[in-house]
Chain A
Amino acid sequence: DAGITQSPRHKVTETGTPVTLRCHQTENHRYMYWYRQDPGHGLRLIHYSYGVKDTDKGEVSDGYSVSRSKTEDFLLTLESATSSQTSVYFCAISEIGGEGEQFFGPGTRLTVL
């Protein structure tokens, strides 16, 4: 597996609380992505980054924000978690962007009660 880790791996939180998920890579890849995976919906892009401090929205960005202050770290924040954000979150990295292989992290299972 590519050098990509996610923390935490599991989290249970309550509605209305802020949550931050971290993605860390050691591959020095330029592109980083956050997806959520839900049954019947496949993998849906939340936000992505094409460089330090350069981010853009994906198809399901409402309720989420991201930050990338260093090449190796990409943070996903749920400002006020809702039950609809219960999901498995995957981070991915890519050297050349959308037309190149994406390497996925191990995933974070988030439950919002």
Chain B
Amino acid sequence: GENVEQHPSTLSVQEGDSAVIKCTYSDSASNYFPWYKQELGKRPQLIIDIRSNVGEKKDQRIAVTLNKTAKHFSLHITETQPEDSAVYFCALSGNTGKLIFGQGTTLQVKP
């Protein structure tokens, strides 16, 4: 079945630095890879997603890369700001039509 491992579980960076979160998966049928951000006490919200026919996607300071051969995808945040502090979840979807979420990464951006 589908499974996703997310690393690191916590990440602390200085404001202005870059942050990278990586997820690995096992099911080669997975073809949709979204990332969700959850601020403290709030609901998760989609920030970016990528499909299997694309290797990279950017949206301002965030980008996602996908390596289907190696079965991993990563979230890149550049020029981090304090408001980027949150929990980030990767997820994937394949033939089952359900989203499977990673365990989450708590990102702290220090001013």
Number of A-B residue pairs, CB cutoff 8 Å, is 50
Measured in the bound complex, the distance between the Cα atoms of B103 and A45 in whole Å is 13
Of residues 16 to 57 in B, which have CB atoms within 8 Å of A's CB atoms?
Answer: 31-32, 34, 43-46, 49, 51
**Known A40-B103, A41-B103: A104·B43 in contact at CB below 8 Å:** yes
**A contact patch SS:** loop
**Does B73 lie at the interface of the complex (its beta carbon under 8 Å from any beta carbon of A)?**
no
The answer to whether B43 touches A107, judged by C-beta atoms less than 8 angstroms apart, is yes
Residue of A nearest to B41 (CB): A107
Nearest residue (CB) in A for B49 is A101
How far does the Cβ of A72 sit from chain B's closest Cβ, in whole Å? 18
Chain B, Cβ-Cβ closest to A48: B98
A98 and B99 within 8 A (CB): yes
| Residues in A neighbouring B98, C-beta threshold 8 A | 45, 48, 58, 98
Residues of A within 8 A of B103 (CB): 40-42
Please, which residue of chain B has its CB at the minimum distance from the CB of A56? B98
Q: By DSSP majority rule, is chain B's interface helix, strand, loop, or mixed?
A: strand
**CB of A50 within 8 A of chain B?**
yes
Within 8 Å CB of B100, what residues of A?
Answer: 45, 59
Please determine whether A50 and B49 come into contact, CB atoms closer than 8 angstroms: no
Are B89 and A42 within 8 A (Cβ)? yes
Contact between chains at A106 and B43 (CB < 8 Å): yes
For B34, give the chain A residue with the smallest CB separation.
Answer: A101
Q: Give the residues from 93 to 113 in chain A that come closer than 8 angstroms, CB to CB, to chain B.
A: 97-99, 101-102, 104-107
Q: List 15 A-B contacts (CB under 8 A).
A: A1-B43, A33-B99, A40-B9, A50-B97, A98-B32, A98-B93, A98-B96, A98-B97, A99-B31, A99-B32, A99-B51, A101-B34, A105-B43, A106-B43, A107-B43
Please give me the 7 A-B residue pairs with the lowest Cβ-Cβ distance, nearest first. A98-B97, A98-B93, A104-B43, A99-B32, A43-B101, A42-B101, A42-B103
Residues of B within 8 A of A (CB): 6, 9, 31-32, 34, 43-46, 49, 51, 89, 91, 93-94, 96-104
